[in-house]
Every structure is written in C-alpha cells, then in structure tokens.
Amino acid sequence: MEARNHTEISEFLLLGLSEDPELQPFLFGVLLSMYLFTILGNLLIILAIISDSHLHSPMYFFLSNLSSIDICFTSTIIPKMLMNIQTQSKAISYIGCFTQVYFFLMIFAGMDGFLLTVMAYDRYVAICHPLHYLVIMNPQLCVFLVLLCWFIIFWVSLAHILLMRQLSFYVGTELPHFFCELTQILKVACSDTLINDIFLYVTTALLGVFPFTGILFSYSKIVSSLMRMSFARGKYKAFSTCGSHLSVVSLFYGTSLGVYLSSAVTHSTRYNSVASVMYTIVTPMLNPFIYSLRNEDVKGALGRLFSQGAPCL
C-alpha cells in the first residue's frame, strides 16, 4: 500500500461499531433515538434557564454552556455515523475527519472538563463564602472564565491539527473506530508521530489532571466547611446543591477513565470503540436528565416552561 502526504489523501475509512449488515438497522434506530434525546434534553435545559429568571445565576449560566457544548459535540459525530449506516458507506473526507478531531479535542476533551471545574469553584464560593457569592461570582467574572476556557482550548486544538497535517497516511487508511479520534489517527499514520505523541501527553495532563485537581480541591474545601456546620439540615441543604454536579463529574471522569483502562488492558479496537460510546453519546444524553431529576429549581423551571407552552383550555 502506498504512503502519501495529506495533500493527496482525500478520505479515510471508518469501520464503525459493527460490520454486520443485519445489525445496521438496529444501530441506526438506537443512535438516532439517543441523538434526538440528547438534542431535546439539552435544548430544554437551555430554554428553561433562559426563560426563568430564578435560574439567572452563575451556576445555571455555566450549565447552559455545558448543554450547548454537548449539543455541538454529538452533532459533530452522530449525524455522520447515521449517514454512513444509511448509505452503507465507511468513507469520511480528510477535512471532515480533521473537523471531528478538532471538535472532539476542543469540546469534549477540553471544554467539558474546564466547565465542570468552573462549576465546582462556583459551588465552593456559594457554600464557603455565601455572603460574598454575588460579589465574587459577578457576571463579568463568569463570562471571563468561559471565554478563557474557549481561548485555551482553541489554541491547544489548533496546535494538534497543525501537527497532524504534517503526517502521512496510506491510501485507503482504515480507522477502527466510529469517528476520527486523535489517538487512532496517530496509530495509523505512516510517518513519525513522536512530536504528536509528546504534545498529546502534555495536553492530556494539562486538560485532564489540572481540571480534575481543581474539582477535588474545591470539594475538599466544601466538605471541610460542611463539617464545621452545627445543623444537620444546613449540611444537607448545602451539599444537595452539589448533587447534580457531582453526578455529572462522576459520569464524565468515570466513563473517560473506564475507556482509558479498557484500552490499556485489552488491545481489541472493537471493544474500545464500543466503550467509547459511553463518553461520546451516553454522557451528553444523560447530563440534562441528571440536572432535571436531581435539581428542584430546574424541575420547577421546566414545569413552568411546559405550562407556558400548553394551550389554554
């Protein structure tokens, strides 16, 4: 097989979740349903936050941003999967593949982790410094934190893409995955990937370890503050505001760690692809349900939103 540089490669081949023809209709139906649930659930969260003045606070401002990036992330991956299943095609264009890599790095690997860290800091300020909460978490700071996250991730993702454009690939390169994932592309490249690998390890530490450390630090302060409270009811009320966020953090890092460990233990690319479904499809779908089921304010806002949209009898 002949190796060619990026200027001569027009497409890659995605092997998908399964090559069994009889399983394709089932996969199409399941993926389409999950995608629609993801879009609908996150849109409802965003609409509820925008329409209800009770939710015009820093915590829900960050939550609306989290829902927005979940919509963008799934829309980068699932529609292409559905189209390939429907047309019985495995091809994805060179530009389309690199677009998926860019948004995967920018949205999932970066913004999700950063936003969850910022939300943990917001809970820390609300519980440990309640009297100064509105002063510290003012609108200017909230917008600045979100823009700072986007700025960092934009340049990190762009650097990855520029490094990848220097790689060469065989004609007809197959990717044993259902989307263009960075590590899989580096494995199938036919040129030296040392610089790419080093940069990947460095950015993984920066975008993974530091945000997670920030979350642990915030919650260590929260737990310490709660332990000093004398009333059990006050402890429960304070910590209950963190329940939804802790659930999403556990789901995000749990699925990511699970996929990483599974790839380290087993070398089955098919198993790794199926495991990746958890953090690419299942997690964005479950996030709005976690916040709507565990958060009384969101449930109330959704109820008012539906009552406003219901026709008068």
Residue 16 falls in which region: left (phi positive, over 0), alpha (psi -120 to 50) or beta: left
Residues present in the chain in total: 313
Distance CA(62)–CA(45), nearest Å, equals: 12
Distance CA(199)–CA(203), nearest Å, equals: 6
Handedness of CA 196, 177, 267, 265 (dihedral sign): positive
Q: Tell me the residue range of the domain where 282 lies.
A: 3-309
Distance CA(34)–CA(281), nearest Å, equals: 7
Task: Name the token pair of 134.
Answer: 């509105």
The CATH number covering residue 166 comes to: 1.20.1070.10
**How far, rounded to the nearest angstrom, does the alpha carbon of residue 194 sit from its chain's CA centroid?**
27
Domains in the chain, number: 1
Q: List the one residue out of 142, 145, 136, 139 whose CA is nearest residue 114.
A: 145
Give the phi and the psi of residue 295 in degrees, each rounded to 5. Answer: -120, 115
Task: Name the token pair of 298.
Answer: 């969101």
pLDDT tens string, the chain, 313 residues long: the values are: 555 555 456 788 888 777 777 888 888 999 999 999 999 999 988 988 888 888 888 988 998 998 998 888 888 888 988 998 888 888 888 888 888 888 887 676 678 888 999 999 999 998 888 889 989 999 999 999 999 988 988 888 889 899 988 888 888 788 888 888 888 888 888 888 899 999 988 888 888 888 889 999 999 988 888 787 766 666 666 666 787 788 888 888 877 776 666 665 655 566 667 777 777 888 888 888 887 766 777 777 777 777 775 544 4
Distance CA(112)–CA(146), nearest Å, equals: 11
Question: Which pLDDT score, from 0 to 100, does residue 312 have?
Answer: 44
Amino acid type, 210 = F
Cβ–Cβ < 8 Å for 101, 20 = no
